Structure formats: structure tokens, C-alpha cells
Structure 1
Amino acid sequence: MRLALFLLCLLAFAFRPDKPAYRLYTPQLKATTYAKLLRQATQADVVLFGELHNNPICHWLELQLTKDLQAAKKENLVLGAEMFETDNQTAISNYVQGQTDGKELANQARLWPNFDTDYKPIADFARQQHIPFIATNVPRKYARLVSRQGLAALDTISADGKQQMVPLPLTVDLTLPGYKAMMEMMGGSTHGSTPNSANPHGATNDMSANFARAQAIKDATMAHFILQNLKTGQTMLHFNGDYHSKNFEGIVWYLRRQRPTLTILTLSSVELPDPEHPASENRNLADFVLAIPADMTKTY
């Protein structure tokens, strides 16, 4: 009898009746629900969905959240995305407004290679429902310029180019944990690099610091164009790589500097061996932690 009971328990553990594609958690890793995510997102000014770029669950849930927020907010929903650069705004708007087709969009805008599978369903829904879609990311040529030469190199670009990014000069605090970790990962140091009023670009000019500054120009530009396109009563649902909003840094930090009273909701995506048992290092990543099985198939 005991042996039979043991075997039943073993089978129940080995073959779970449910294999969820994702789980949602609070910052303290308490299980929560999509209904709570939707309710809080509806009440937020800005929702930052921190995705894993090649994860199909992220993209599917982004689409579901877009549809449900549109049902709740109607004309008060605005979309924005890291995946579209500010100098491509006209091309994105023309497509969403039904003035061009997909082929014309591909010819006019720099689309990510996974656009058709991962972002086109959202763009098409925006097109059907007449939802504004904002290109928020800095043009990659300017981010590349910063990564190679530092922030001072932006002083050399044209007036039109400067309209496509956050107003200069830009404050970058390289001691923030996210930027600091990025520099340390590349073997750099934050010693002597913190900017101030006399030295807005920071003292150091090494590769790791400039790489972090390139990340910051993206974060700051996304925050700037989110605020530029957000009206009272609206919710901006913004799609970005997880690192741009994880730990309430990146875009969040720049949003808070410009508008401290803004209601911001963040979601951080993580891949885990067992989404049912997130580890302690996943605490406080965001307002909602999206846990996805590590062996989930990828879109590329």
C-alpha cells in the first residue's frame, strides 16, 4: 500500500497535469494573475513591457495586453516601441494609418529581422483599431557614434539629427547599477566617470563607459518620446528589451527625472528552469515578473 502511494506521488511529481507557458509574479515573487496585470496597466500612465526579443511568449502576451488595453482604454491607448527608430516615425505612422502596405513599410523603415513574426501582429492590430504607434528609439547611427566616441560626438551632428533624440546635453550616471554592471561586464570601471554640471559627458572615455552611454542615449530618448506623445488620461504601452527597464532603471530613471508624478508599471521577462519556483535573484525586477520556461522555443 505504501509502495503504491509512493509511486503515485512520484508519478504526480514527474508528470505534472499542467505545463504552463508562463507564470506571473509580484516583485516579492508571490504568484499573481494576468487580470491584476491588466487592471494595473489600465490605471497606469506608462507600461514598460520588458521583453526577451526572441521569446514567443513575450510577443504573444504583448499582443494580448495590447488587445485588452484597447478594449479598456479605447482611444486613450498609445503604443510605443524600442524596435522603431525616431527617424522612421513617418513610415510607421503611414502604415498604421493604412496609407501604405507592408512592402512599402519594409522599404521605408529599418525593421528588425523578426518584425514579421514578432511585431507585425501588434502593428496590424494598431492599424485595424487606429491606435497611434510611436517610434521612440534613437537612430542607431547616433547610438553607434556614442559607443565609439562618447557623448561629446553628438555635438557634431546636424540640428535635424538632434531633433531625433533626447535634448542635449544628456546626463548619464554611470554609477547606476545597470550601467555599472554593463561596464564591469566589459571589464571597465566607473572610477572618475560620474558626470556633473562641469563635466556632463563624464571624465572617462574608455570603451566600456561609452558602451553604457550608448545604452543611456537609447533609454533617455525612449523616455523623451514617450512623454512627448503622452496626453492626460492616456496609457502608453511601450515595448522594449528587458534591460531597458529592469530593476526600475533605464527608461524608468529618465521618466522619473522629467515627470516624478508619472504612474509607471514595469514588467520584466525571465527564462527559468522551473517557472513555478523563481529564485531569489528574480526579486524586485519589476512590478510584474514574467517567468517563462527556459526551454521555450525561440523566434530566431
Structure 2
Amino acid sequence: MQNTILSWGALLALVAVLGFAPAKKAYQLFDKTGKKTTYAQMLAELKDADVVLFGEIHNNPISHWLQLEVTQDLYAAEKEKLVLGAEMFEADNQELMNEYLQGIISRKHFEKEAKVWNNHATDYRPLVSFAQKNKLHFVATNIPRRYASVVSKKGFEGLDKLSKTAKKWVAPLPIKVDLSLPGYANMVKMMGGAHGRSMGGMSPQNFARAQAIKDATMAHFILKNRKKKQTFLHFHGTYHSNNFEGIGWYLKQKQKKLKVVTIATVSQAEVGSLSAKNKNLADYIIAVPSSMTKTY
């Protein structure tokens, strides 16, 4: 009888603990001011956007899951008016992308020849496969990495010797760059400041210019491939659009009235509230626990 009473007591204690244990959230969505919002509210605004800049943390599974969810839900609302694009594919591989989407070449050949990222199979293949299945245009927007490397060592002048054909895969030169923008200024500071020493043949300013040529090129191919009344959903590392800079800044230099909605992803110890440093990063901010598992 005593053992039975103890057993019931232990069970009730367990129920009490479980009943008051806080739910574990995989993410929390906030608006730019740090106010909690919902996926439905965000999606409603995305449907009215000309361009959606979805900034990810490259190895974060929540980023990639939500990218696919947003893609599916925007497609359900807009069908063929949706266009996809991504940093993870370089512009000179557009023909390969088109051939794969049209079923001309196999996935094996596409992924072997298109310089896909190491986490492509888990994180980006689902997006490309969705585009193929639903006959959506998927744009390879990034500058070929070899040309970004040239800029990091020689500045924009290093691109002057490119052939006319090669320059098709880069934003029209010369490009405007404002190294005083916080994103680029922080990169210069991280490399030792304006008077920092060259590292591996790369000055702090050229390090930031290499980032700028990526942003400018991605913006260029977004505008080149977006038609009137379409929504262009673009995927990239969150740093490329944080603080409404980067890609978004270059888009607005060309088309000021373009409706651009940005999404940022951040990692925090707790996601119950948005930390001060993460406010105003984007129109919508996905806060993910820092304990979240990673894709690599």
C-alpha cells in the first residue's frame, strides 16, 4: 500500500513538472521593431512584394525549411508569377540550370557541373526540385566566384580585362559602392580598418568591394529576370540584405519604387524576445535558438 502511494505521488509530481514545462520553440518570428508576429501576417505582405529577399544562416535548418514553406505558399497564391533565384548559383551556370529545369539534362549532371555548394542536397535541392516540378524560372544570380576573388585582390579595376562575354556574368561596370554603409564599413573594420594591412594580397577595402560586387550582381540579375506583376523570391546569406543594405540597396538604386520585403535570420540563446542588436535588421526577423542543430 505504501509503495502504491509513493508511486502515485511520483506520477503526480511528474505530471505537475511536465504541465508547467515551457514549450520548446524552433523559432520565433518578429517584425522589424521586435514585436512578435505570425507566419500568416508575414506571408500576406510577401504576396504583395515585387522582390522578397530571404536572408538565411547557411547551416541553419530552420532557414531552409521556412524557405521551402514560403516558396510553396507563394506559389499556391501566385503560380507562374513567382520567380526564384539564389546566391548559391553563379550566373555563368544559368544555362545548366535551364537545361535541368527543362528536363534536358539529369540532376546528376547538373549538380556535378554547376559548382553547387556542399550542403546543396539537403538545403537547396528541394527548392530547385520544386521549381522544376512546377515549371518555375530559377535564376542563378551570383557573380562567378573567380571574379569576386579578382576584386578582393585587385579592386574593380581587376575586372577591366575581362572579355565582353565574361562581363555578361557581372553587374554592369563601373558599379557604385558606398563603403560607409554599415555592412561594408564593418567588413573593413573586421579586416583591420581603412589603414589595415593587406592579408593574402587582399586589402580591407577590396574585401568589402568583393562583397559589394556580389550584392550588385545579384540585384542586377533579379531586375533583369523579373517581369511586371511578378514576385521574385531570392535566397542568400542574411548578411547580403541585413539592415536593408546590400542587395536591397542596389535594387533601390535602379528602381526606387520597387516594393522589397526583407527577411533576416538570427541566432539567439532565447527566442522569447528579440535582442536589441537584432532589431531593424529586416522587415521580418526569424530568431532561432543558438542550440539549434546545423546542416553542416
- Give the TM-score taking structure 1 as reference length: 0.90
**Taking structure 1 as reference, are residues 206 and 59 closer, same or farther at Cα in structure 2, changes over 3 Å only?**
closer
* Superposition deviation, residue 108 in structure 1: 2.2
**Taking structure 1 as reference, are residues 26 and 92 closer, same or farther at Cα in structure 2, changes over 3 Å only?**
same
- Paired with 2:273 and 2:81, the residues of 1 have a C-alpha distance of 37
| Corresponding residue of 1:35 | 40
SS in 2 for 1:43: coil
| Corresponding residue of 1:168 | 173
- Paired with 2:17 and 2:195, the residues of 1 have a C-alpha distance of 53
Aligned mate of 2:211, from 215, 224, 233: 215
Q: Which one is further off, 181-190 or 123-132?
A: 181-190
* Superposition deviation, residue 36 in structure 1: 1.1
List structure 1 segments (4+ residues) > 6 angstroms apart after TM superposition.
Answer: none
- Paired with 1:184 and 1:86, the residues of 2 have a C-alpha distance of 30
- Paired with 1:98 and 1:270, the residues of 2 have a C-alpha distance of 37
* Superposition deviation, residue 12 in structure 1: 7.7
* Superposition deviation, residue 278 in structure 1: 1.8
| Alignment pair present for 1:243 and 2:239 | yes
**Taking structure 1 as reference, are residues 144 and 19 closer, same or farther at Cα in structure 2, changes over 3 Å only?**
same
* Superposition deviation, residue 70 in structure 1: 0.4
Which amino acid in structure 2 is aligned with residue 239 of structure 1?
F
| Alignment pair present for 1:158 and 2:163 | yes
Deviations 1:189-235 (A, max 9, x none): 289xxxxxxxxxxxxx9611000000000000000000000001100
Which amino acid in structure 1 is aligned with residue 207 of structure 2?
F
State, as a whole percentage, how many aligned pairs show the same letter: 51
| Corresponding residue of 1:229 | 225
| Corresponding residue of 2:112 | 107
* Superposition deviation, residue 15 in structure 1: 2.3
**Taking structure 1 as reference, are residues 224 and 157 closer, same or farther at Cα in structure 2, changes over 3 Å only?**
same
| Corresponding residue of 1:4 | none
| Alignment pair present for 1:298 and 2:294 | yes
| Corresponding residue of 2:9 | none
| Corresponding residue of 2:58 | 53
- Paired with 2:212 and 2:19, the residues of 1 have a C-alpha distance of 45
The two structures, once aligned, show a CA RMSD in angstroms of 1.8
SS in 2 for 1:156: coil
Are the aligned partners of 1:175 and 1:190 in contact in 2 as well (CA < 8 Å)?
no
- Paired with 1:111 and 1:252, the residues of 2 have a C-alpha distance of 24
Are the aligned partners of 1:188 and 1:206 in contact in 2 as well (CA < 8 Å)?
no
Structure 1's unaligned 5+ residue stretches are 1-6, 192-204
Deviations 1:79-118 (A, max 9, x none): 0000000000011111122222211102321100110010
* Superposition deviation, residue 11 in structure 1: 5.0
Which amino acid in structure 2 is aligned with residue 89 of structure 1?
Q
Alignment of 1:79-228 (within 5 A): 79-189=84-194, 207-228=203-224
SS in 2 for 1:159: coil
**Taking structure 1 as reference, are residues 229 and 157 closer, same or farther at Cα in structure 2, changes over 3 Å only?**
same
Are the aligned partners of 1:46 and 1:263 in contact in 2 as well (CA < 8 Å)?
yes
Which amino acid in structure 2 is aligned with residue 231 of structure 1?
K
| Corresponding residue of 2:249 | 253
**Taking structure 1 as reference, are residues 128 and 190 closer, same or farther at Cα in structure 2, changes over 3 Å only?**
farther
* Superposition deviation, residue 50 in structure 1: 0.3
- Paired with 2:19 and 2:235, the residues of 1 have a C-alpha distance of 37
- Paired with 1:13 and 1:175, the residues of 2 have a C-alpha distance of 52
Are the aligned partners of 1:183 and 1:190 in contact in 2 as well (CA < 8 Å)?
no
Aligned mate of 2:31, from 10, 26, 29: 26
Q: Which one is further off, 206-215 or 112-121?
A: 206-215
* Superposition deviation, residue 176 in structure 1: 0.7
Structure 2's unaligned 5+ residue stretches are 1-12
Are the aligned partners of 1:174 and 1:190 in contact in 2 as well (CA < 8 Å)?
no
Aligned mate of 1:286, from 278, 282, 285: 282
Are the aligned partners of 2:153 and 2:202 in contact in 1 as well (CA < 8 Å)?
no
* Superposition deviation, residue 14 in structure 1: 7.5
| Corresponding residue of 1:200 | none
Deviations 1:26-55 (A, max 9, x none): 111100000011111110000000000000
Are the aligned partners of 1:190 and 1:209 in contact in 2 as well (CA < 8 Å)?
no
**Taking structure 1 as reference, are residues 190 and 224 closer, same or farther at Cα in structure 2, changes over 3 Å only?**
farther
- Paired with 2:82 and 2:37, the residues of 1 have a C-alpha distance of 24
